[in-house]
A and B are shown apart, each in its own frame.
Chain A
């Protein structure tokens, strides 16, 4: 149960600075703002299930930012300063240490998302909306997992670098690539191929699949396929929601597993 001590200590330390609180407020404000605006701008029927399709695009931008900001310094700042050595001098294994960090940071993001979603559901349902419990719970869980994916990507950056600065660059590189320019690359490619007469309107399915591997795209496909009744997923089987769910799982555990195994085998000083 060593990870509990690590997680508890880290959560208390990480949530203290004002900068962390600002970062955590970001997804909460986004969810609440969306929940406030959705009944005004959304089309009937107003339900918490259809709310997922309204808010998921916003979350696909904001949650990654929160995740990498919160995750990127989880391990490397202690490694760089040397306080990591105090923790690992105690009967804590490196696995306990990283697990504690992950639970602490993912827990902070998840907690904020959960609270905001519950309040947001209230805003959607009152006065004219309808609560669809099962889909909404599924959507909240998916959003929490999406937050965990990006927090884990931040922590993976933290595990694979030796200085806080480099971890920041790697984590933000991922955010920049996947969240800010990914769609533009896809659009540019589509435009170019279309102009060259190689494709007709949209990218070939296998290429779409490759571009669809990005965590935000996967998140939106899972949401559309499972939880939002107003949206649907079409195309060949590998563009479907079940494959998306599997890819989602890979993102959740893959990067962390790979970078942790390297961290576990390295000399710390």
Chain B
């Protein structure tokens, strides 16, 4: 059964359209990255799933239960890290987890949960004294209580340093391997690229693409990136390369390295052109297009 099903979900605030007919489906056992610049409507979508916001049109379901009409049972199998939360003022980290354990009628040991997210040393301190990163870890821990079948995480790595973010990613992989669906939003591409089985890209409230990372790469036309070290480089040569058919962008770094993005077919033409101009090619590498470039291509370069 699909963990998340959205059918044409729209949300308008007055004249502003925050979500425009978003339809998608997320299956159990996959990690789905929900990507988009700030303000694209990612949190609004998650808020509809959690019934914090009511859709103007369309409907959403978690495990076949309507998020609005049947919200409580829809959330029973879900662990959540919402946007814009704050921890309870006078509860310790341990008490936070215990509150979730009671609420979900689960039997997790709060100490083990805190250990897993790496804040057991701070278990008995008031959570309001935690740093932003520790709060994120705490709320992620709360989301893990009761072995949920879906993790719904809004920007889970905010406030974490790179190694913290990597720890979180490995937890998410463990959860996926256990069979849970993981749905998380991010505006940070590396996070999504590193871990997601599928990606949805949201732009101005519209879902502009849903695919695997490889699929996105293909659909954008090969999107190869060439890194060419040349002996000497003058502006005329750069211009000439820019003029080759199939070349999208050309930039120069370190004075003598050309970075060229182009279609697969144009690779040789670029090298031939350099030869013809008498440039001395010292080294030649290709890179797959990163999600970042794909993202820019999809969202018209307006990366937040």
Interface residues of A (CB under 8 A from B): 2, 5, 8-9, 13, 16-17, 81-83, 85-93, 96, 265, 267-269
Closest-by-CB residue of B relative to A89 is: B80
Instruction: Please encode chain B, from 60 to 104, with 1 for each CB lying within 8 Å of some chain A CB and 0 for all others.
Output: 000000000001110110001011111111110000100110111
Contact in complex: A86, B87 (CB < 8 Å): yes
13 A-B residue contacts at CB 8 Å? A2-B72, A9-B102, A13-B88, A13-B89, A13-B90, A83-B86, A86-B88, A86-B96, A87-B103, A90-B103, A91-B73, A91-B104, A92-B103
| Residues of chain A within 8 A of B72, CB atoms compared | 2, 91-93, 96
Contact with A along B227-259 (1 / 0, CB 8 A): 000000000000000000000000000000000
B19 to chain A, nearest CB (A): 13
Tell me if A's interface is mostly helix, strand, loop or mixed. helix
Contact A91/B91 with A5-B99, A85-B84 known, Cβ cut-off 8 Å: no
Task: Name which residue of chain A comes closest to B53, CB basis.
Answer: A267
Least Cβ–Cβ distance between B17 and chain A, in angstroms: 15
Query: Could you tell me the distance between the alpha carbons of A91 and B85 in the complex, rounded to whole angstroms?
Result: 16
State whether A93 and B71 are in contact (beta carbons under 8 Å apart), knowing that A86-B142, A88-B52 are contacts in the complex.
yes
State how many angstroms separate the Cβ of B168 from the closest Cβ of chain A.
Answer: 18
5 pairs of A and B residues whose beta carbons are closest in the complex = A89-B80, A82-B86, A81-B86, A90-B103, A268-B52
Shortest B233–chain A CB gap in Å is 52
Instruction: List the B residue with the shortest CB-CB distance to A77.
Output: B89
Q: Shortest Cβ distance from B51 into chain A, in angstroms?
A: 8
In the assembled complex, the CB of A104 is this many whole angstroms from the nearest CB of chain B, namely 14
In-complex Cβ contact of B88 among A83, A89, A91 (8 A)? A83
Contacts A16-B90, A265-B54 known; list 20 others, CB within 8 Å: A8-B102, A9-B99, A13-B90, A81-B86, A82-B85, A83-B88, A83-B89, A85-B52, A85-B85, A86-B82, A86-B139, A88-B50, A88-B51, A90-B100, A90-B104, A91-B75, A91-B76, A96-B72, A267-B53, A268-B52
B75 to chain A, nearest CB (A): 5
B interface, by DSSP: helix, strand, loop or mixed? loop
Docked CA distance A92–B103 (Å) = 8
**Interface size, B (range):** 20 to 34
Please provide the chain B residues from 187 to 238 with a CB less than 8 Å away from any CB of chain A in the complex: none
Taking the closest CB of chain A, its distance from the CB of B105, in whole angstroms, is: 9
Residues from chain A with a CB closer than 8 A to the CB of B50 are 85, 88-89
With a cutoff of 8 Å between Cβ atoms, the chain A residues found around residue B87 in the complex are 83, 86
A90 partner residues in chain B, CB cutoff 8 A: 75, 80, 100, 103-104
Once the chains are docked, how many angstroms separate the CA of A121 from the CA of B7? Answer: 64
Give the residues in chain B near A88, CB-CB below 8 Å: 50-52
> A268 contacts which chain B residues (CB < 8 A)?
47, 52-53
CB of A264 to closest CB in B, whole Å: 10
Contact (Cβ within 8 A) A2 B53: no
Residue of A nearest to B143 (CB): A89
Residues of chain A lying within 8 A (CB to CB) of residue B91: 13
Minimum Cβ distance to chain B for residue A130 (Å): 46
**How far in angstroms is the closest Cβ of chain A from B159?**
15
Distance in Å from the Cβ of B98 to the closest Cβ of chain A? 9
User: A83 and B85 in contact (CB under 8 A), knowing A2-B72, A268-B53?
Assistant: yes
Q: How far is the CA of A66 from the CA of B96 in the complex (A)?
A: 29
Closest chain-B Cβ to A125's Cβ sits at a distance in Å of: 40
CA distance A91 to B102 in the complex (A): 11
Q: For the complex, what is the distance from the CA of A76 to the CA of B9, rounded to whole Å?
A: 29
Chain A residues whose C-beta falls within 8 Å of the C-beta of B82 in the assembled complex: 85-86, 89
Cα-based distance from A267 to B99 in the complex (angstroms): 24
